[in-house]
Structure 1
Amino acid sequence: MTNNVIHDVILIVDDDPVIRMLMRRALNPSMTHILEASSGEEAIELFSLHCPDLILLDVSMDNMDGFECCSVIRKMPEGENVAIIMVTALDQPEDIKKAFDVGATDFMTKPVKWPLLNHRIHYVLKANKTIKELTKSKNRLARAQSIAHLGSWEWDFKNQTLDCSDEVYRMIGMQPQERELNFANLIEIIHPDDREFLTHTLKNALKNKESYDIEYRILNGNGDIITLHDRTDITDDFGGQRLNGTLHDISSRKKSEQEIAYYAYFDTLTDLPNRRKFLVQLDSAIALAKRHGTKLALLFIDLDHFKRINDTLGHKAGDELLCEAARRIKTSIRATDEMSSGNTHVDFDNEHIARLGGDEFTLLLTELNTFDSVAIIAQRIIDELCKPYFIMGKQTYISASVGISFYPDDGLTGDILLQHADTAMYEVKNNGKNGYQLFSHDMHKTLMDRLQLEAELREAITLGDQLKLHYQPQVSSTNDNVVGYEALLRWNHPTKGMLSPFDFMAMAESSGLIIQIGEWALIEACKKAKKIHVADSNFTRMAVNLSALQFNHANIVDHVKNALLLTSLPAHLLELEITESAIISNVEDAIALLFKLKELGVQLAIDDFGTGYSSLNYLKNFPIDTLKIDKSFIDGIVHNQKDAAIARTIVQLALNLGLGTIAEGVEHVEQYELLKEMGCNDLQGYLYGKPVSLERF
C-alpha cells in the first residue's frame, strides 16, 4: 500500500531556458510538482489547466511581460488564491511598486540567491496555504451565521428597560432573564475603549429616533472580550415607535480577519513585520518626520555566511538561527536605548524591525536629532550577532553586514531609502563583510554603472560578436617549442574598447552570465584547438579556465562533453584550469566531479596554485595533471629568495606527485633560466608572447 503524497504545484515562467533550469534545480523535487512556461500566454494556459499553488514569474518577457501576465491571472477563477513571486532584474522603486499593484505576493531581484530560493518559497507556500484555510473558514462561518439564531431586543424609547431574548443574555454571559436589562447596566460591561462611542450612538438614536448599524466589544462574565454586531431598525407598532435590534457575536470572524491580516503583514517565523508591513510603516514614519522636521535612519541588516548554516545543519537549524538573530537585534536596540542620551527614539512593539525575507532584516530609527547614535546601534547589532550561537546542540558563528541610509539626506521616499541602504550593505559585503557602511551617492553611481555594464554584457551575449577569445602560447622549457595555448576571454565593448576579465568577470559571475559565456568559450576554444592540432605536431593542449560558478554548475560535465562532440577535438588536447578556491569549497563533491571530468579524457590543472587554500592531504586525491605556478611568485623569483623557494617547492611537489608544471607571468630571460634549472616543464608569459586575437593568431 502506497501513501498518496500531495505535492505543491509550482509554475516557473521565464523566457530564458537557463533560468528555468536553475530554478527547477534549486527547488525540492521530492516536495513539488514543477511546471514550466516560456511566455506569459503559455503561463495563463497552464494556470487554467493546473491551478498551481505558486508562480515564479519573470518580469521581462517578450509580447506579454510579467506585469500583464500577473494582472490577467489575478482576474481568473482561483487567481486570487495563488501566490505569485515576481522575479526581476529591475530594482527601481517604480518597478517594485508596479509588481505589487498588479497583485504580486512578493518579488525577488536578480541575481537570485539560489541556495535560499527553496527556503523562501517554502515559507511563501506555507503562508499562502494558511491564508487559504483561514479564508475558507471565514466563508463557512459566514454561511453558518446567516442561518443561526440571532439575539434580539426592543426598546420603546419610553421605558428604561429593554425587552431581550434569551440569546442576548447568553451572549453577554448571563443566565436568560436573570434580571431586567437597560442601557445603563449594559454600558457597564462594554469595553472601556468602546463606551464613549456606544453612548454617543444611543443618545443620537434617542434624540433623532434614528437606527444604527455598529460593532462594539463587551466583557462577558468570564472576562472574555466578545465583539458584537448590533444592527437596528425603527418600526411603528400600535401608534408608537420602537427601536428593534439584533445582536450577533462576530468574535470568531474578527479573529479570523485578524489572523488573515497577520499572515499578510507579518513573518510567521520571527513574528516580525514583513516587507509589506514595513514599507507601510516606513512611509508613515517619513510623513511624520516631514511634518515635524525630524530625521530618521534606515538600517538594512544582512546575515553573513547564513547559507553555510543551511547547507551544514539544515533548514530547521537555519530557522532557529533566524529567530535568535531577530531576538538579538531587538535586544541590542533596547540595550542601546537604555544607554543613550535621548537623541534616538525607538518603539519596542516590533513595528520598527522587520524581516524582509531570507536572512535580511531592516530597522527604522525615528525622531533623530543627531546621527551619532546610529553608528553605536549599528555596531552593537553587529557585535551581538557575532556572538556564538548554540543551534541544535552545536556551536556556530555568523556575522552581519549593515547598510545605513538617512531621511531626508539620502532619499525622500521609503523605496529610495531602502534601495540606498541595500546598496550600502552590499558595499560592506564587497569589502569583507562584518561591518556597517553609510550610503553615499558615489556608491550609488558605482552600483548603477555596474548594472549598466551587466545590461551591456547581456546584450553582448545576445549579439554574439563582442565576446572574443585571445590565445597566449605555452612553451616547453626543454626545447622552446610552443606546446600549448591558454584561451583568455576578452570583451570588445562598443565604447570602452577591449576589456579583460578583470573588468567584468566578477559581475558576470554574480549575475550568473558566466555560465552562458563559459559554455560559448569552451566551444570556441575547442574549435581553435582542432585547427592547431591539424597544423602543429608539437601541440599538446588548449587550456580553458573554469570559474568557480562554472565548476560547481550541475551541467558542467555535459557542457564539456558537448564542446568535444561539436568540434571533434580529441579530449586529451583540452585542459581545464580550475582555481583552488573552487575545489576546496566542497572537497568531497569536487573530487567526484573531477573524476567525472577526467573520465571524458581531458587534462585538469589547478590554476594559480599556492594562492588559495589547497590542502596537500586532499591534493593527493585529486586526479590533476598540472599545477600552474601563480605569477605573484614568478615576479620576484630572481631577487626574492622566498619566492624562489616557493616556486622550487611547488615544482618539486609536482614532480613527486607525477604532475606537470606551468609557470605563469614569465617576462625575463633570468626567470626562464631559473625556472628551467628548477625543472619547471612549461612557461607562459610576455617573454614568449602576449595573448592575441584569432585574427592575429
Structure 2
Amino acid sequence: MTTILVIEDEKAIHRNLLKLLNAEGFETLSADNGKIGVKLAQTKQPDLIICDILMPGLDGYGVLHILQQDSSTATIPFIFLTAKTKQADMRQGMTLGADDYVTKPFTRAQILSAIAARLQKVKLRQQQSIINPNLPNRRLLQKRFNQLEKPGNQGKLQIFLLSLEIEQLNQLNNTLGLAIGDQLLQAVVERLHRQLGQQDAIAQIGSDHFIILLSRSYHKPESIQIVETLLKAFDLPFQVDSHKIFLSAYIGIAILGRDGRDLDTLIRHASVAREEAKQPGNRRYQFYIASIGAKSQEAFELEIQMRQALERQEFQLYYQPKVNLLTGQIEGAEALVRWNHPQRGIISPVEFIPLAEKTGLIVPLGEWVLRQACHQARVWQDQGIYPLRIAVNLSPRQFNQSNLTNFVVDILHETGLNPHYLELELTESTLVQNPESAIATLQTFKALGIRISIDDFGTGYSALSQLKKFPFDVLKIDRSFVCQLTEDSRDEAITTAILQMARSLKLKVVAEGVETLSQLNFLKGHQCDEIQGYWFSPPLSAEAFADLLSTGKKFPLLSS
C-alpha cells in the first residue's frame, strides 16, 4: 500500500486531507509541525510527502532542505501545499527540489492529480533503472558498504566515502531540457566510471549529488590521488548534442570508523566536508573534521532565519552611486542587498549571499532585489529626479532559470521602468558554464535595451577569446585590483591593460572600490569612464540616496 506523509499545522485542512487520502486507499502518516514531519520521513520512509510551507518553527522549505540532504529521504516525491501563489514562491520550492506545488484552497481532483503524477514519475524512474543498469543506484552502495564495514576487512588501511557535487547539473536540466539533461548525466556517469575501479560503488542521491564508496582500503595519500584524478576529469568540457558544457565538481571525504560507522552518518559528514570545499580559497576537496560539522549547524540555523527574513521583509536595498569621471555627475547606482537581522543587526552579504546561493534562496531573494530596484528607480523618476540607470547583480542560479527573460520583462512592465535604465551585472564564471545559451540570453536583453555588464572582471580564468563573443556594454574592474592600485605595480599593469583592452572593444569601464584620491587620479588619467566607492559615497538607503541627488553633489574633477 502507498504511504503518504502529511505535514500540516492547520487542523481543519490536515483532518480533511487525511480523510480524503484514506478514502482513496492510501496509508497515511501525520505531523502537525516540521520537526515531527522530518523524523517521520526519516524513520518511516513514506512513498510521498505533502507539506505545508508556512509553519511555526521549521517551515516547509526547511523540511525539504533537511530531507534533500539525507540520502534516505532525498528521492521521496515532495509536494508543497500552501496559500502562497506568487511565482517567486513556486520557483523557490522547485529550486530546492520540490516535485509539485498545490495551492489552497484545492479540490479533491487537484490533489489526487498531483499525487498520481508524482507516483507515476517514480514508477518510470524505477523502470528506467532496470532498463539501464549502468546508472548509479543506492541499493548497490548499501550492499557494498555492508560488505566493507565488516570487522577485519579494513586491516591497517582505511575505507573512504566521497560526496561529489556537480554544481550546474540541476540548473542545466532546467535550462536545456530533460532529454539533454539525461544525456549529460549519462556522460558524467561514464566519465566517473572511467576514473574508478570496477567494484567501486556510485549512487546518485540528488539531482547533482553523487556518493562514491571506494571498493578497497587505502592509505590517505592514495585516496587523495584518486580524488584529484576525479576532479581533473571535469577540467574538460562535456560534448552533448550541439552543446559544449563545462561543469565544476567538489568532493567531501569521510573515513569509515573515524567519521562514522553507518552509511548515513558517513554520507552526512562527507557532504558537510564537500560544502567546506566550495568555500572561496579552499581546495576543491576536503576531509571531514568535527569543527566543520559545528560550522555547518550554524549555517543551517542561519538558513532557516533567512527563509523567514524573506517573509518578514528584513532585507533592504542600499544604493551606491556610479559617477562619470568626465562630468563628475552621478549617472547611476548599483543596488546592494542588506539583511537587517532582528537580533544580530546588519549581517554582511559576505556571510549570507554564499549561503543563499548554495541553498537556492538566492532565486527568490534575487527576484525581490530586481523588482525592488526597478520600482525604486521609477519612484525617483516620478519624484522629478533625473533618470538614473540602476544596476542589479544576477547570480548564476538566477541566470540559469529557464524563464529569466520573461521574468525580467514582467518586472519592467509591472514597475513601468524603461529597459534603457536597467543594467544587469554578471560574473564571467556565470557565463562560461554554458556559453551558447548565455550569449542567446544576453542578446535578448540587449534587444530590449537593457545594458549588460561583466562584473569582477579579471578574477576569473576564462580566455579572452571566449569572453569577446559576449555582447557586453560595460566592464567592471574588480576592487581587488583597485585597492592596491598605486602601491602595487602589478595591479597598475593589470588595470592599465584592462582599460586599454576595453577601449579597443568599445566597452565602458567602471572601477569599483575606489577609496583614495590617488586611485581616483590614476583611473581618471587612464581614461576610466566611471567609478564607485567609498571615496565618493558608501552605499545609501533609498531616502539618503535621494537626498544626495537633491544636493547636486558632483565629483571634484581636479587632482589635489
Superposed pair shares fold, TM > 0.5: yes
Query: What is the alpha-carbon distance in structure 1 between the residues aligned to residue 182 and residue 344 of structure 2?
Result: 45
Aligned to 2:542, what secondary structure does the other structure show?
coil
Query: What is the alpha-carbon distance in structure 2 between the residues aligned to residue 644 and residue 489 of structure 1?
Result: 30
Structure 1 residue 525 and structure 2 residue 373: aligned? yes
Q: In the alignment, which residue of structure 2 is the partner of 1:299?
A: 161
Q: In the alignment, which residue of structure 2 is the partner of 1:476?
A: 324
Structure 1 residue 378 and structure 2 residue 223: aligned? yes
Unaligned runs of 5+ in 1: 1-10, 16-37, 52-58, 75-86, 115-120, 132-262, 332-349
Amino acid at match of 2:357: E
Q: In the alignment, which residue of structure 2 is the partner of 1:269?
A: 133
Contact 2:201 2:215 in 1 (8 A): no
Amino acid at match of 2:322: Q
Amino acid at match of 2:126: N
Name which of 406, 409, 413 aligns with 1:561: 409
Aligned to 1:471, what secondary structure does the other structure show?
strand
Query: What is the alpha-carbon distance in structure 1 between the residues aligned to residue 532 and residue 400 of structure 2?
Result: 27
Contact 1:382 1:399 in 2 (8 A): no
Structure 1 residue 360 and structure 2 residue 210: aligned? yes
Query: What is the alpha-carbon distance in structure 2 between the residues aligned to residue 63 and residue 451 of structure 1?
Result: 14
Alpha carbons of structure 1 residues 594 and 640: separation in structure 2 relative to 1, 3 Å: same
Contact 1:297 1:404 in 2 (8 A): no
**How far apart are residue 690 of structure 1 and its match?**
0.7
Name which of 45, 65, 79 aligns with 1:89: 65
Query: What is the alpha-carbon distance in structure 2 between the residues aligned to residue 393 and residue 660 of structure 1?
Result: 36
Structure 1 residue 128 and structure 2 residue 130: aligned? no
Q: In the alignment, which residue of structure 1 is the partner of 2:361?
A: 513
Alpha carbons of structure 1 residues 672 and 294: separation in structure 2 relative to 1, 3 Å: closer
Contact 1:454 1:507 in 2 (8 A): yes
Aligned residue runs from structure 1 range 52-91, under 5 A: 88-91=64-67
Aligned to 2:66, what secondary structure does the other structure show?
coil
Aligned to 1:612, what secondary structure does the other structure show?
coil
Structure 1 residue 495 and structure 2 residue 495: aligned? no
- Write out per-residue CA displacement over residues 142-197 of structure 1, whole angstroms, 9 at most, x where no aligned residue: xxxxxxxxxxxxxxxxxxxxxxxxxxxxxxxxxxxxxxxxxxxxxxxxxxxxxxxx
**How far apart are residue 548 of structure 1 and its match?**
2.1
Q: In the alignment, which residue of structure 2 is the partner of 1:677?
A: 525
- Write out per-residue CA displacement over residues 117-137 of structure 1, whole angstroms, 9 at most, x where no aligned residue: xxxx99964563389xxxxxx
Alpha carbons of structure 1 residues 687 and 327: separation in structure 2 relative to 1, 3 Å: closer
**How far apart are residue 602 of structure 1 and its match?**
2.4
Q: In the alignment, which residue of structure 1 is the partner of 2:393?
A: 545
Query: What is the alpha-carbon distance in structure 1 between the residues aligned to residue 471 and residue 123 of structure 2?
Result: 43
Amino acid at match of 1:469: L
Q: In the alignment, which residue of structure 1 is the partner of 2:447?
A: 599
Aligned to 1:330, what secondary structure does the other structure show?
coil
Aligned residue runs from structure 1 range 601-616, under 5 A: 601-613=449-461, 616=464
**How far apart are residue 388 of structure 1 and its match?**
6.9
Alpha carbons of structure 1 residues 61 and 327: separation in structure 2 relative to 1, 3 Å: farther
Aligned residue runs from structure 1 range 293-332, under 5 A: 297-302=159-164, 307=169, 315-316=182-183, 318-319=185-186, 322=189, 325-326=192-193, 329-330=196-197
**How far apart are residue 522 of structure 1 and its match?**
1.3
Query: What TM-score do the two structures reach when normalised by structure 2?
Result: 0.67
Contact 2:64 2:96 in 1 (8 A): no
Amino acid at match of 1:129: Q
Q: Which has the larger radius of gyration?
A: 1
**How far apart are residue 413 of structure 1 and its match?**
4.3
Contact 1:665 1:684 in 2 (8 A): yes
Contact 2:246 2:433 in 1 (8 A): no
Amino acid at match of 1:499: I
Alpha carbons of structure 1 residues 582 and 122: separation in structure 2 relative to 1, 3 Å: farther
**How far apart are residue 460 of structure 1 and its match?**
0.5
Contact 2:486 2:492 in 1 (8 A): yes
Query: What is the alpha-carbon distance in structure 1 between the residues aligned to residue 232 and residue 452 of structure 2?
Result: 42
Q: In the alignment, which residue of structure 1 is the partner of 2:116?
A: none
Query: What is the alpha-carbon distance in structure 2 between the residues aligned to residue 499 and residue 563 of structure 1?
Result: 27
Alpha carbons of structure 1 residues 674 and 585: separation in structure 2 relative to 1, 3 Å: same
Name which of 287, 290, 297 aligns with 1:441: 290
Contact 2:161 2:256 in 1 (8 A): no
Contact 2:320 2:539 in 1 (8 A): yes
Amino acid at match of 2:133: L
Name which of 272, 276, 282 aligns with 1:427: 276
Alpha carbons of structure 1 residues 672 and 40: separation in structure 2 relative to 1, 3 Å: farther
Alpha carbons of structure 1 residues 374 and 448: separation in structure 2 relative to 1, 3 Å: farther
Query: What is the alpha-carbon distance in structure 2 between the residues aligned to residue 400 and residue 446 of structure 1?
Result: 22
**How far apart are residue 506 of structure 1 and its match?**
1.2
- Write out per-residue CA displacement over residues 5-50 of structure 1, whole angstroms, 9 at most, x where no aligned residue: xxxxxx9x999xxxxxxxxxxxxxxxxxxxxxx999889979999x
**How far apart are residue 632 of structure 1 and its match?**
2.2
Q: In the alignment, which residue of structure 1 is the partner of 2:83?
A: none
- Whose relative contact order is higher, 1 or 2, with alpha carbons under 8 Å and at least 6 apart? 2
Query: What is the alpha-carbon distance in structure 1 between the residues aligned to residue 328 and residue 306 of structure 2?
Result: 38
Q: In the alignment, which residue of structure 1 is the partner of 2:310?
A: 461
Contact 2:424 2:453 in 1 (8 A): yes
Query: What is the alpha-carbon distance in structure 2 between the residues aligned to residue 596 and residue 541 of structure 1?
Result: 19
**How far apart are residue 441 of structure 1 and its match?**
0.7
Query: What TM-score do the two structures reach when normalised by structure 1?
Result: 0.55
CA RMSD of aligned residues (A): 5.2
**How far apart are residue 530 of structure 1 and its match?**
2.0
Alpha carbons of structure 1 residues 583 and 576: separation in structure 2 relative to 1, 3 Å: same
Q: In the alignment, which residue of structure 2 is the partner of 1:586?
A: 434
Contact 2:64 2:97 in 1 (8 A): no
Aligned residues: 474
Aligned to 2:476, what secondary structure does the other structure show?
strand
Aligned to 2:197, what secondary structure does the other structure show?
helix
**How far apart are residue 423 of structure 1 and its match?**
2.1
Alpha carbons of structure 1 residues 110 and 598: separation in structure 2 relative to 1, 3 Å: closer
**How far apart are residue 526 of structure 1 and its match?**
1.8
**How far apart are residue 469 of structure 1 and its match?**
0.6
